[in-house]
A and B are shown apart, each in its own frame.
Chain A
């Protein structure tokens, strides 16, 4: 079993080299999940199907919560249909004053704050349902609200102590004060661990002095309360060494020294205020440290992770709205003697849009349902849902414009604004590129852990005979392409069982086998490979999520069950094909050549400053 001994150090070396910074590596290990994790994604990478979190489709609202939610949907929808004017907000590049006031009165600024502290006290699933409405009507307002409560003061909800919560949450819930999340700096975007804003503790220990600047902060111009991440010197208790670590702070504008720049001119979400923030010798009381001193990175990642499901929910609402516009056009526009929805090309577009929306919606409520059920290891699924939702929404809206033809391009139709608003969703809150690496790396990490325990067992083969025997059998079965025995039979509706399960299992087996295989891949190709591995993981999770939802509809005898079965079936067939194709490609010899070429082309273009090939006309 020498291969196991060879693999492990390689894996660790690769992870460290890829991250480049020790903080990132540490964050990876911070997200390193225990082997008993119930997360589907974590287990998927280990070659196991863990159904606890995915089957049956989570149903977390009790009768009271459900009734209450239903009562809220009406007023919120009404407000967005009758009071909010998205076109006006976009043209003015701000949310109209009376609309913002109306939202505050409505109670929309403190949806997840407890009722004792003046909020509406919603859980994640209820919050998702309301955020869907906002997403359907105005993403600019959605970001203003989201930057305030989904990330702006979420740190206080998750990590605040009693005094901090009682001091800040009531005014934040009523909207009297607005919050903002301040992490990004000119030189630190994806590489969040490299931020340079400093918070130096005073000699008396009663306050910190903060200096630095942040860019692209949503709500910077409106906010009173800022969750700011800064580097603080921390003494290692054991070694006595002083290192700079990130700490999270609650900073009030009233502390003095906090200023902001003019609103940035953006492609979309123009109604949302985005600006630079400057901290000049700001005195922050020591009581305002959020979480632990030096534990700020964890605070930041948890806040972002906790708010991700909201994005998928909002975007599923956006897609619904946009699909309705496309349908309205396709059902009424006549060309060549027929309504255009009768033509195959349009039919394919509509069907694909519906499928993407169905998957996104299923993911959003699967993740929020898991969170409300008490799961703590949902970060991979949350990341997957963010990646999927942002890309699906872009594709769906783009296709809507295509279906509408010239009309779609016109401002009045209201769709071009949605497309412009959507572009940022693939970038902020963790770029999709970084999140893909995160998803795939977690796969390696977990495969690595399993191998670790194997390595230990190898040191005492006789004592650990059982573990080894089991592992050998598993791998032998995998090589032969057979299932590892775990069955989904009990949880999936009979109508869906057939080959859908088989295709899921096939992917299930191939993926982790592939990952094990891929540890032999050379470091240079790593990101090319990880990107594709992540795509497979996303497709696989998407398959499971729709299987779960469609199963539930079939079991409950919904009138739409057959339609959902069609959506599910179509999605799974195509996802399965994509996964198999990717795996085949990664296994093939041509992949090495392609990656080599891609690297070389990129290098040449960078060196040349632009494209390299000379003009075809020779000039």
Chain B
């Protein structure tokens, strides 16, 4: 199968970091905070690399949107086995308001430009938990989608996807080209070895601007305020049922 796979990787705050809200409540503190590849994106890269190792796809291209720092994330994908990278340059205000709609437009444009047969993404990012990019990308391309994948099998020009759904597992068969989003149990990502990181230095990362892809980055959303979850208040013990009813009435609950 001479297919090309596009994998999206997002640079997010590391899962182990304690998140702090900025004093002006406009967002969270990102300066000097440890960032790494979104865990679901790691699973997506791993799946793409495994398909290449099974000789079911020809080339794996890693894509990330953001400022200069996202190149580190692309390099991690290259160290895991991706062949080349594309850095879509987005910075400043545009980066602050970059969301699934904009990213999916970019990915759709790239998928066409690169003549990809498969786009694999993480099911959601751990910073915004949107769970929209994969679905929007498929819609913009008018391609079938296999989301929450826990198993992917390529069969000729069709893909069998086993999806994790509320009731259990659902198996579907979709045509290629398609968009697949990775769920937790799809695979266990490999560790980037130091020699592979060194080899990755020689792999190419091309830079491209959203304008060149004909994408408009204007956001339809405005973040009004970001707050920490409310502190849990202490409870109150009551002696009798009458007391309880009284307290509830007091609090305006009944």
* CB contact between B194 and one of A70, A83, A106 (< 8 Å): that residue: A106
Q: Which chain B residue has the least Cβ–Cβ distance from A74?
A: B36
In the bound complex, do residue A75 and residue B194 qualify as a contact, i.e. CB atoms below 8 Å apart?
yes
| Chain B residues with CB below 8 A from A105, complex form | 193
Q: Which of B72-80, B88-96, B162-170, B246-254 contacts A (4 or more CB under 8 A)?
A: B72-80
Q: How many residues of A contact B (CB 8 A)?
A: 22
In the bound complex, do residue B198 and residue A115 qualify as a contact, i.e. CB atoms below 8 Å apart?
yes
Mark out the residues of chain A between 94 and 114 whose CB falls within 8 Å of any chain B CB in the assembled complex.
Answer: 102, 105-108, 111
- Tell me which of A68, A74, A78, A106 has the highest count of chain B C-beta atoms within 10 A of its own C-beta: A74
Instruction: Given A74-B36, A78-B191, check contact A120 B198 (CB 8 Å).
Output: yes
B174 contacts partner chain A, Cβ-Cβ < 8 Å: no
| Chain B residues with CB below 8 A from A106, complex form | 191, 193-194
**In the complex, A248 Cα to B47 Cα: how many Å?**
50
In the bound complex, do residue B193 and residue A71 qualify as a contact, i.e. CB atoms below 8 Å apart?
no
In the bound complex, do residue A75 and residue B198 qualify as a contact, i.e. CB atoms below 8 Å apart?
no
Instruction: Given A115-B198, A120-B198, check contact A71 B191 (CB 8 Å).
Output: no
Per-residue CB proximity of B21-45 to A under 8 Å, as 1/0? 0000000000010001000000000
Mark out the residues of chain B between 188 and 215 whose CB falls within 8 Å of any chain A CB in the assembled complex.
Answer: 191-195, 197-198, 201
In the bound complex, do residue B75 and residue A75 qualify as a contact, i.e. CB atoms below 8 Å apart?
no
**In the complex, A115 Cα to B198 Cα: how many Å?**
9
**In the complex, A121 Cα to B72 Cα: how many Å?**
20
Q: Which chain A residue has the least Cβ–Cβ distance from B34?
A: A74
| Chain A residues with CB below 8 A from B36, complex form | 74
**In the complex, A111 Cα to B193 Cα: how many Å?**
12
In the bound complex, do residue A120 and residue B76 qualify as a contact, i.e. CB atoms below 8 Å apart?
no
A267 contacts partner chain B, Cβ-Cβ < 8 Å: no
In the bound complex, do residue A75 and residue B192 qualify as a contact, i.e. CB atoms below 8 Å apart?
yes
| Chain B residues with CB below 8 A from A102, complex form | 191
In the bound complex, do residue B72 and residue A70 qualify as a contact, i.e. CB atoms below 8 Å apart?
yes
Q: Nearest chain A CB to B10's CB is how many angstroms away?
A: 16
**In the complex, A189 Cα to B5 Cα: how many Å?**
61
In the bound complex, do residue B195 and residue A71 qualify as a contact, i.e. CB atoms below 8 Å apart?
no
* CB contact between A108 and one of B79, B194, B201 (< 8 Å): that residue: B194
Instruction: Given A71-B75, A74-B76, check contact A120 B192 (CB 8 Å).
Output: no
| Chain B residues with CB below 8 A from A585, complex form | none
Per-residue CB proximity of A68-80 to B under 8 Å, as 1/0? 1011101110110
**In the complex, A118 Cα to B72 Cα: how many Å?**
24
**In the complex, A121 Cα to B193 Cα: how many Å?**
14
| Chain A residues with CB below 8 A from B32, complex form | 559
In the bound complex, do residue A75 and residue B201 qualify as a contact, i.e. CB atoms below 8 Å apart?
no
In the bound complex, do residue A107 and residue B193 qualify as a contact, i.e. CB atoms below 8 Å apart?
yes
Mark out the residues of chain A between 525 and 564 whose CB falls within 8 Å of any chain B CB in the assembled complex.
Answer: 559
**In the complex, A71 Cα to B76 Cα: how many Å?**
8
- Tell me which of B32, B72, B79, B192 has the highest count of chain A C-beta atoms within 10 A of its own C-beta: B192
Instruction: Given A71-B75, A71-B76, A71-B79, check contact A120 B194 (CB 8 Å).
Output: yes
In the bound complex, do residue B197 and residue A75 qualify as a contact, i.e. CB atoms below 8 Å apart?
yes
**In the complex, A79 Cα to B194 Cα: how many Å?**
11
Q: Which chain A residue has the least Cβ–Cβ distance from B80?
A: A75
| Chain B residues with CB below 8 A from A118, complex form | 195
Q: Nearest chain A CB to B53's CB is how many angstroms away?
A: 16
In the bound complex, do residue B195 and residue A107 qualify as a contact, i.e. CB atoms below 8 Å apart?
yes
Q: Which chain B residue has the least Cβ–Cβ distance from A121?
A: B198
Mark out the residues of chain A between 104 and 137 whose CB falls within 8 Å of any chain B CB in the assembled complex.
Answer: 105-108, 111, 115, 118, 120-121
Instruction: Given A68-B201, A115-B198, A120-B198, check contact A75 B193 (CB 8 Å).
Output: yes
| Chain B residues with CB below 8 A from A75, complex form | 79, 191-194, 197
**In the complex, A115 Cα to B75 Cα: how many Å?**
19
**In the complex, A83 Cα to B190 Cα: how many Å?**
12
| Chain B residues with CB below 8 A from A559, complex form | 32
**In the complex, A167 Cα to B170 Cα: how many Å?**
56
| Chain B residues with CB below 8 A from A71, complex form | 72, 75-76, 79, 197
Per-residue CB proximity of A22-38 to B under 8 Å, as 1/0? 00000000000000000
Q: Nearest chain B CB to A169's CB is how many angstroms away?
A: 14
Q: Nearest chain B CB to A49's CB is how many angstroms away?
A: 35
Q: Which chain A residue has the least Cβ–Cβ distance from B75?
A: A71
- Tell me which of B75, B191, B194, B198 has the highest count of chain A C-beta atoms within 10 A of its own C-beta: B194
Q: Nearest chain A CB to B30's CB is how many angstroms away?
A: 15
**In the complex, A458 Cα to B76 Cα: how many Å?**
67
Q: Nearest chain B CB to A301's CB is how many angstroms away?
A: 30
Q: Which chain B residue has the least Cβ–Cβ distance from A82?
A: B191
| Chain A residues with CB below 8 A from B76, complex form | 71, 74
| Chain B residues with CB below 8 A from A115, complex form | 198
Q: Nearest chain B CB to A67's CB is how many angstroms away?
A: 8
Q: Which chain B residue has the least Cβ–Cβ distance from A70?
A: B72
Q: Nearest chain B CB to A118's CB is how many angstroms away?
A: 8
Q: Nearest chain B CB to A102's CB is how many angstroms away?
A: 8
Q: Nearest chain B CB to A370's CB is how many angstroms away?
A: 25
Q: Nearest chain B CB to A123's CB is how many angstroms away?
A: 14
Mark out the residues of chain B between 42 and 94 whose CB falls within 8 Å of any chain A CB in the assembled complex.
Answer: 72, 75-76, 79
| Chain A residues with CB below 8 A from B75, complex form | 71
**In the complex, A392 Cα to B155 Cα: how many Å?**
62
**In the complex, A118 Cα to B75 Cα: how many Å?**
21
List the interface of chain B (C-beta within 8 A of A). Answer: 32, 36, 72, 75-76, 79, 191-195, 197-198, 201
Cβ contacts A to B, 16 pairs, < 8 Å:
A68-B197, A68-B201, A71-B75, A71-B79, A72-B197, A74-B36, A74-B192, A75-B79, A75-B197, A83-B191, A106-B193, A106-B194, A107-B195, A118-B195, A120-B194, A120-B195
List the interface of chain A (C-beta within 8 A of B). Answer: 67-68, 70-72, 74-76, 78-79, 83, 102, 105-108, 111, 115, 118, 120-121, 559
Add 17 more A-B contacts to A83-B191, A102-B191, A120-B198 (CB < 8 A). A68-B197, A68-B198, A68-B201, A70-B72, A72-B194, A74-B192, A75-B79, A75-B191, A75-B192, A75-B193, A78-B191, A105-B193, A106-B191, A107-B194, A111-B194, A120-B194, A120-B195
5 nearest A-B pairs in the assembled complex, by CB-CB distance: A107-B194, A75-B192, A107-B195, A120-B194, A106-B193
